[in-house]
Structure 1
């Protein structure tokens, strides 16, 4: 069934819910986080291994995943997204700050970052959608804060400065 908590959730192992997960604070899972519904967090999330979301993900603060982020719906995060592995399967991907993945960033829709985008491999938006970096930065800081790092320039890069393969 669903999991609804007014404050924080902390699990040294994994968290799995057959329905929605709604959390009034931060969510920390030492292993995997699997949500078969919508994931709504008023705080941030730290997931030690993989995050698998079958519905939309809404996170008011930051999202940090040690493994892969696999989704079916859109992912919207108020601050930044940091994923050790790949981001894949999601509809639209949006962060108020930056988005960084150790492997690829693949979405079925648009990819939007308020600041920079970085992937160890490629960055691909869905057919007919664009890739946008630097949406929340001033023009004077564009070169430093709207960077796009990937093995090759993303197709349909509409905003941001591609600088080449990720250095880290």
Structure 2
């Protein structure tokens, strides 16, 4: 039997890289998977949670079987959305990415699934409903992307051209 990980000093398995990949391979989350992921994010990247800990947290709000939580966590591990590490006879689960990175992957997948006309229309509808604070956030995010790219004006021009198509 593998040696157990010390309960006093939890180790965090390596995280995925932070930039959002432009792939459509990230699986969509079901409702229960989303609730379980929320619990893992609440537990924190370094602490993670066991099946029992997730089950106890969910039981406060809904009736759910321990084996259901175990199955969901196992499936999330197979989808590589969580990592896990042996802790005695149990597994300790950690989110493979931040909530923000997973949300960005979902948004990217949605955009990649559309043709250019639909993408532009969806963006326009999204922006029509955005508050001025949300528009400011989008502008700030675009400025950050431009700064990271190192060729800010070229990146901004390409993004504006994509939106105009």
Superposition TM-score, scaled by structure 1 size: 0.29
Larger radius of gyration: 2
Q: Which has the higher strand share?
A: 1
Q: Which has the higher helix share?
A: 2
- The structure whose RCO (Cα within 8 Å, separation 6+) is larger is 2
